[in-house]
Amino acid sequence: MTELEIRGLRRRFGGVAAVDGVDLDVPAGAVTALIGPNGAGKTTLFHCVTGLDAADGGTVTLGGRRLSGLPPHARARAGMAWTFQRIELFAGLTVAENVRVGAENRRGRPLAAGLLGLPDRRRGEVRATVSAVLDRLGLTALADAPAGTLPTGTMRLVEVGRAVAAEPSALLLDEPASGLDDDQIARLVRVLRGLAGDGMAVLVVEHDLRFVGAVADSVRVMVGGRIVLSGRPDEVLAAPLVREIYAGEE
Ligand SMILES: Nc1ncnc2c1ncn2[C@@H]1O[C@H](COP(=O)(O)OP(=O)(O)OP(=O)(O)O)[C@@H](O)[C@H]1O
């Protein structure tokens, strides 16, 4: 079942059609990967889907609800969570506190409720979510470490944790494997496969093809603002076009 549906999405910057009429279905219960060369329009697409940038045309639908035109916080409340290429953690907060921000931001639970003080039962729920997410990401031992002091790969995992703690129906990750060591990549693959197994719709934009091959159920290739190829990872990653795009990177 398609959880996140993108239809005819367009975004121009002057003469450049950065996203040029993209249709993309991101099904629940699967990991979908979006790959392509630098400048293909992947990040622009991502920003238009999350509402950080305004598309010039097309629609974004989540669980049957049309989100086009809504600001990012409304899309988050509707069940979308994401991380960006640039890490955006609260550096002065601990790992657990960063993840708690995500848990308090769950669907239908605006952040203000967290600031105003949660009723005991909800506070308990938030604590349980934070602890489950830390455990899932292998971050329990670092729960009290200030996020700003961590190596890049670990910070990225904390960001994924914060997004996951919001219990989204669709999770979008822009280059989540960047800066991760091999163990962390293996951990991230397990985490994302587990989330998809629980029914989440996961979309990753990624350059690391080994990671894509290990994590994705299906792969889309974007070139010049359009999706030019899609299929199973083994088929797509072996395609001459993809070999050509990524030549010299392996
Ligand atoms: N704010 C902007 N203003 C003008 N042009 C932009 C802007 N953002 C992106 N572009 C252009 O849109 C095109 C797509 O860029 P985008 O960053 O989306 O590609 P990408 O596939 O994410 O690349 P990368 O893999 O390097 O992140 C490029 O030609 C880029 O120069």
**pLDDT by residue (tens digit) across 24-55?**
999 999 999 999 999 999 999 999 999 999 99
Mean of per-residue pLDDT scores for the chain: 91
Neighbours of 157 (CB within 10 A): 25
Decide the pairing of beta strands 218-223 and 30-35. Answer: parallel
CA distances (Å), origin 232, targets 198, 226, 238: 21, 18, 10
CA dist., res. 112 & res. 104, Å (int): 9
Q: What is the CATH number of domain 1-79+168-250?
A: 3.40.50.300
pLDDT of residue 1: 87
CA-to-CA distance for 86 and 108, rounded, in angstroms?
27
**CA–centroid distance, residue 141 to ligand 1 (Å):** 38
Residue 44 alpha carbon, nearest atom of ligand 1: 18
Each residue of 121-141: pLDDT tens digit?
A: 677 788 899 999 999 999 999
Question: 32 CB under 6 A from ligand 1?
Answer: no
* Pocket-testing residue among 16, 19, 34, ligand 1, by greatest number of atoms within 8 A of Cβ: 16
Query: Which percentage of the chain shows pLDDT scores above 70?
Result: 92
Q: Is 184 in the pocket of ligand 1 (CB under 6 A)?
A: no
Structural domain boundaries of the chain? 1-79+168-250, 88-167
Mutate which of 43, 53, 85, 223 for ligand 1 pocket (most atoms within 8 A of beta carbon): 43
Position 115 scores a pLDDT of 45
Q: Is there an atom of ligand 1 within 6 Å of 11 CB? A: no
* pTM for this prediction: 0.91
pLDDT (tens digit, 9 = 90+) per residue, 221-235? Answer: 999 999 999 999 999
Is the pLDDT assigned to residue 110 strictly greater than 60? no
Closest C-alpha residue for ligand 1 atom 25: 38
Closest protein CA for atom 11 of ligand 1: 18
Residue of minimum CA distance from atom 26 in ligand 1: 38
pLDDT higher than 90, residue 210: yes
**48-71: average pLDDT:** 96
Residue whose entry in the numeric block shows the structure tokens 């990872």:
233
